[in-house]
Each structure stands twice: as structure tokens, then as C-alpha cells.
A and B are shown apart, each in its own frame.
Chain A
């Protein structure tokens, strides 16, 4: 048990705070939702009704999509773009998908390499891009969920305000969808930019996300 906790500390820690934060959002969102209901002249709803409302669904999904977009873009952009001095980047000159030898694929696979690394053709291609593809699929899935639930939540509010509901296409072209989308995107892009740039000059002793404390500012792609 002790070993299980130690070996999986990072995932278990984030899983715990994720569930606590989601629970907190479900409670705070419930009170905010009922404030709006009462202000609009409607009856307050129960917590379980709120948890099965599209308001809660779209609020969760709009944040998820931007996080998965952030990682998908980061994973893909760092293949082709470098940042001199950043531990988040490969060394300058190593842009691209790299040689089979560097990537330990085909004849260069080792005895402990995943079986797909020894394969060729489509199987190797899919496995070689599986991390970015999975993040991308979850991004598009979350964005779709945000759109579908956001449309329903928006129309419920429209009816509460005695306004006409919008069609799905009209909602996708409208400001609510893009406000929810872009307010999340801008913060993710700023966070990535900050990480790539601040880590050139600043250090966090012991973190693999940082260069070693004594590494030169110009050292690129060296993790602590």
C-alpha cells in the first residue's frame, strides 16, 4: 500500500485535488445557479437537478477543452519549434520528428521498447503520434460537449428572460460560445508562454520541469 502511494504520488495527488475542486465547483455553481434562477423569477432547483443541468456540464467542459487543447498544442508545437534557453524545448537544431535511431524505432528498438515501436507502416505511425492524437481527440470531444450543453444552457436562460431560443448553428456563431471558448484559451496560451520563457532564467530546485539550479541560462532542453 505504502509503495503504491509512493510510486503513484503524482497521479494520486492530482486526482484527489481534481475531485475536491470539482466537488467545490458543483457546490459553488449550485448556489450561483440558484441566485440566477431566483433573480429571473424562477424557483430554485435541488443540487441533483443542478448536477444534471447543462449549465454545470458546459462549465466543466469549457475548462476541460482548453486544458486538453493546451497540452495537444504544446506536444505538437514542441516537435517543430524550439525556444533557446528553455528546459521545455529541445535543443536548437533538433526540430522535427527526429531519426529512427533517436526515436528507437524499427531496427533501433530495444528489448524493452513497446511492440508498436518495432512495427512499421500505420501501426507505427499511430503509436508514434498517440499522445498528441489522444489529447486532440479529448479536446474536440470536450469542445463538442461544451457546445451542445452550452447551447441548451443558453436557451434555458433565454426562456427565463422571455427571449427567443437560438438554433445550434446560431449559438455556435454567437458571442456566448466564443466568449466561453476564448476566455479559457487565452489563459492557457499565456501559461504555456510563461512556462517556456520564465524557465529560461528561473529555477526550481529538484523539479524536472526546471533546469538544474546551476545550469546556464543559454542551456536549452536540459531538465533538472
Chain B
């Protein structure tokens, strides 16, 4: 199950980083 846990963490990290990126972009371009 180590691979599945790595994929799980990778997804949550990707989504978290992507959303933070979009929010920061929006704030920078206000």
C-alpha cells in the first residue's frame, strides 16, 4: 500500500499547491 499512500499524498499536495498558486495569482493581479 506504499505506492497508493504516495499517490494519495501526491494528489492532495498537487491540489493544495495549485489552489494556493491560483489564490496568490489573483491577489497579485488585483
Contact = CB atoms under 8 A, between A and B. Distances in A.
A151 B26 contact: yes
A9 B8 CA distance: 14
B22 A149 contact: yes
Contacts of A192: none
Interface string B5-26: 0010000100110110111011
A142 B17 CA distance: 11
SS of B interface (majority): helix
A181 B30 CA distance: 20
B29 A7 contact: no
B30 A155 contact: yes
A178 to B, nearest CB: 17
A52 B25 contact: yes
Interface residues of B, number: 17
B7 A145 contact: no
Nearest to A61: B22
A207 interface: no
A64 to B, nearest CB: 8
A11 interface: yes
A58 B7 contact: no
A198 B21 CA distance: 39
Contact of A149 (B3, B7, B26): B26
Contacts of A64: 15, 19
A153 B22 CA distance: 11
Interface in A54-102: 54, 57-58, 60-61, 64
A8 interface: yes
Interface of B: 3-4, 7, 12, 15-16, 18-19, 21-23, 25-30
Given A64-B19, A150-B26, 5 more contacts: A54-B22, A57-B21, A61-B22, A141-B15, A151-B30
Going nearest first, the 10 A-B pairs with the smallest beta carbon separation are A148-B26, A149-B26, A57-B22, A152-B29, A145-B22, A152-B26, A145-B19, A57-B25, A54-B29, A141-B19
